[in-house]
Structure 1
């Protein structure tokens, strides 16, 4: 029987990790070449994991760790063959952090039996903690959240994101363009924001109405998917079918909104 999780302990660990990055925020030299960029990204991973593991491995020594590498296409197609493990996106939006701009979070998910059992997303700049446990609802700073109830698409906010496709897929950028056109034809406000997981949490909190991304980006999605789902949001793929691990697209929307988009997607 798996050990029941201590949610306050986990939230505190994630908050501690996030707060540690505020100390040096905007103090790093913005990377000017790929080698420097990769070195700074690696340092972020090491700092975050050191803090998280320092707390969680002591309490949960039997739970393994998987560091979500968004460039690992094969690894993102299915969960690990483990009954339980932490999946950590050490900093979602790390490039923004290194560029001295907002839009970076600490994301952590607990995977049990191939499903997202618990997840947390912490935004240190806003001091907002989004989290959810399977079957118990979603919360922001321990207050329940719920999605938008807007009816007018002219005032709906739609977000389009993209992932890293390696190797490049012929015609993929053209498909992106067609989907952006469908969003523009459907909703009054279309933006690109980042980080991915936080945007999904924002849909759960009613701040964003719809999110669309083509391509495989599972590790960036997982923490936000559970939060959005537990808030009552629709979690689909671009074909409006229920999303499942390994799907190469994600369409997340407040209830009833996906149908509006799909009508224009089919036209295009």
Structure 2
């Protein structure tokens, strides 16, 4: 980052547009056709990006923007070519927002040298702002957060998720099903919540004990990954290797919990 004062500029910009969406939450009809849905999703992206770009232009005049297309699997396999850029998921959980249910956030990440150096996830409904600085910790509303210290799987909350990869000619559906079965057989509580980044932030805050996903979803993960890592979580693949940009799966938990899962 250029200097410490820029952190607050980013947080303020994200909070501002999140609160704009909050004012309109549940005020519009739920889309009933694919054309209506796509139009509303495009409107969300346009409004969010226009606001963020305008508010961050003065402090970051030369930092380009990269919009993470979660439907484009190939583009998620490696960072963009620029040394520094914004990676923006305008609204993680936009479907929930349009359906008038909770579970939507504004996510923004600053990538430098191919890795996230600052990320923020804002949940307007809960008025909770999660952010992390590479090497300096993770925070929620100004307080440092840490991963859960539970030992007993029977009292742990595990969540699973899945992305938009084509599952028609591979064994991903079978993998996902087997993983969910393993979770149900061994963890006390199993859920699928929706917004990927927020779930990873919840791992960092000790609210979720384990997050797992069997397909690639880099753009949805990346903001939450830095928050989870800086909170003390392990970032692994589902087979136990260290997660890296382009990995085809993700397992995030405390070191102890990750080891317990892998032993299963």
- TM-score, structure 2 as length reference: 0.97
- The list of structure 1 runs, each at least 4 consecutive aligned residues, that deviate by more than 4 angstroms after superposition, is none
1:186·1:260 contact (CA, 8 Å) conserved in 2?
no
- 1:128 corresponds in structure 2 to 128
Q: Which moved more, 1:32-41 or 1:217-226?
A: 32-41
- 1:103 corresponds in structure 2 to 103
1:182·1:261 contact (CA, 8 Å) conserved in 2?
no
- 1:83 corresponds in structure 2 to 83
Measure, in 2, the Cα distance between the counterparts of 1:99 and 1:263. Answer: 39
Query: How far 1:73 sits from its partner (Å)?
Result: 0.8
1:229·1:235 contact (CA, 8 Å) conserved in 2?
yes
Measure, in 2, the Cα distance between the counterparts of 1:136 and 1:263. Answer: 31
- 1:4 corresponds in structure 2 to 3
Q: Which moved more, 1:63-72 or 1:179-188?
A: 179-188
Query: How far 1:84 sits from its partner (Å)?
Result: 0.1
- 1:172 corresponds in structure 2 to 172
Query: How far 1:24 sits from its partner (Å)?
Result: 1.0
Measure, in 2, the Cα distance between the counterparts of 1:242 and 1:228. Answer: 14
Query: How far 1:167 sits from its partner (Å)?
Result: 6.3
Question: Number of aligned pairs?
Answer: 263
> What SS does structure 2 have at the residue aligned with 1:86?
strand
Query: How far 1:254 sits from its partner (Å)?
Result: 1.8
Unaligned runs of 5+ in 1: none
- 1:155 corresponds in structure 2 to 155
Backbone CA RMSD of aligned residues: 1.1
The yes-or-no answer on 1:219 pairing with 2:215 is no
Measure, in 2, the Cα distance between the counterparts of 1:195 and 1:246. Answer: 20
Query: How far 1:185 sits from its partner (Å)?
Result: 2.1
Superposed, 1:32-43 pairs within 5 Å as 32-43=32-43
> What SS does structure 1 have at the residue aligned with 2:122?
strand
Structure 1 residues 153-179: Cα deviation after superposition (integer angstroms, max 9, x where no partner): 100000010101136343221111111
Unaligned runs of 5+ in 2: none
2:237·2:243 contact (CA, 8 Å) conserved in 1?
yes
The yes-or-no answer on 1:139 pairing with 2:139 is yes
> What SS does structure 1 have at the residue aligned with 2:61?
coil
The yes-or-no answer on 1:64 pairing with 2:64 is yes
Q: 1:168 to 1:64 in 2, by over 3 A?
A: farther
